[in-house]
Structure 1
């Protein structure tokens, strides 16, 4: 394999690893996937280092030494895409396809259908209303929480288009959720603002991120685990701060 071919295969291995990390994979899986793909194409040794925001890979072989770095921006948990990428990595290791085929399969994964915006709004309403009832709310609290969940989805989508910091986006959504919950009680739509708000909090609480941080820590990826844990704790603090600030207004 020539050096040019090695660089191409390493590029696609890094792309798959990046998409795995963005989709919610643990860093151990990302590093192992990149390593296996490179070894499948004839690399004699592959050194991969990954954290939540960066991947660095050096590949050794008869083509020389190839190193590539990838800056990873943002996370968007997508278990469907994660499964497709895992299947693709296994296919690559088993069949060693040409770069053009890998590019085609990656494009197909990127273009896979996702939930429509209307369905996402419906899901936000169902989650908010369900958790409100789960924690002791009545029918009115459920309806109020579901309606606020719809507003929060619309607000979140608008704020994300503005390229605001994710913490500021969460703080503003939480503040709006707290204000609307208290307002709903004032006008008689709901009975308890806390039970209305708790349904909305479940939309924003970083449960998956915190679970992933513990998984990384137990797997021995201490740096990544600590980074994800701190991000989760900070995000949870912002969620609490947003709803507390809204409640203080009332």
Structure 2
């Protein structure tokens, strides 16, 4: 295999790895997938290093030549369906020896697909919010308020995502809006306990998957990635708490 062909396959492998990482896949899955894709392309020795925001790959070619490419990952949004489709693509590359053009077409198709049942997502937000409000001791009024706020927060999150990919900024604006809405429902008489309503809404954004993955990464030896994800999870949880607290303080001061 010449250098140009290896470069094409490496570019495609990095596309797959970048999408996997941006969809919430584990680092070792990303590294393993890139290595398998390059091995299927005929490059036997590949060194892959990945953390949550960066992937660097060096392919060793014949004649002591090396080829290195790097990819930056700016935002991570969990998408299990996309991870499954990318996993299937990597299996097909290994089994059918797909050409770079075929791989790029499959990647474009996966990127263009809209999330399944996206119209039902606000309903899911509403149900989860209401259920947790009841679970933590809220009454039916708190349930109704939390359901309404959860429904609205889904659209608020979508609106914010149009302007920024910064998850911390999104969480701060989102949680502040949730805190305001919780206080307003109590002031209007719809809800009875602003804290319980807020707890139901907070559970929508708690980084449980990221925190669990951080512990897993550390146990399998990806210590740097695990520590980064752990700190991101703690920071995100703190930002969410700040947002809800800030909303309550501002409303208390105004009233």
Task: Tell me which interval the TM-score lies in, with the shorter structure as reference length.
Answer: over 0.9
Q: What does 1:158-173 align with in structure 2 at a 5 Å threshold?
A: 158-163=159-164, 165-173=166-174
Q: Report deviation, 1:81.
A: 0.7
Q: What does 1:189-204 align with in structure 2 at a 5 Å threshold?
A: 189-204=190-205
Q: Is the 8 A contact 1:42 1:61 kept in 2?
A: no
Aligned to 2:89: 88
Query: Do structure 1's residue 213 and structure 2's residue 225 form an aligned pair?
Result: no
2: CA distance, partners of 1:12 / 1:178: 44
Aligned to 2:101: 100
Aligned to 1:31: 31
> Gaps spanning 5+ residues in structure 2: where?
none
Q: Is the 8 A contact 1:17 1:30 kept in 2?
A: yes
1: CA distance, partners of 2:135 / 2:190: 18
2: CA distance, partners of 1:126 / 1:201: 13
Taking structure 1 as the reference length, the TM-score comes to: 0.94
1: CA distance, partners of 2:39 / 2:118: 41
Q: For residue 59 of structure 1, give the secondary structure of its aligned residue in structure 2.
A: strand
1: CA distance, partners of 2:72 / 2:103: 21
Query: Do structure 1's residue 151 and structure 2's residue 159 form an aligned pair?
Result: no
Q: Report deviation, 1:117.
A: 5.1
Aligned to 2:248: 247
Q: Deviations over 1:145-204 (max 9, x none)?
A: 011112222222222222274322211221221122122112211111111111100111
Query: Do structure 1's residue 181 and structure 2's residue 182 form an aligned pair?
Result: yes
Q: Deviations over 1:57-98 (max 9, x none)?
A: 001122732111111110010001101111111111122111
Which stretch of the first structure deviates more once superposed, 213-222 or 100-109?
100-109
Aligned to 2:48: 48
Q: What does 1:112-131 align with in structure 2 at a 5 Å threshold?
A: 112-115=113-116, 118-131=119-132
> Gaps spanning 5+ residues in structure 1: where?
none
Taking structure 2 as the reference length, the TM-score comes to: 0.93
Which stretch of the first structure deviates more once superposed, 212-221 or 163-172?
163-172
What RMSD over aligned residues (CA atoms) do the two structures have, in Å?
Answer: 1.6
Q: How many residues align?
A: 250
Which stretch of the first structure deviates more once superposed, 239-248 or 223-232?
239-248
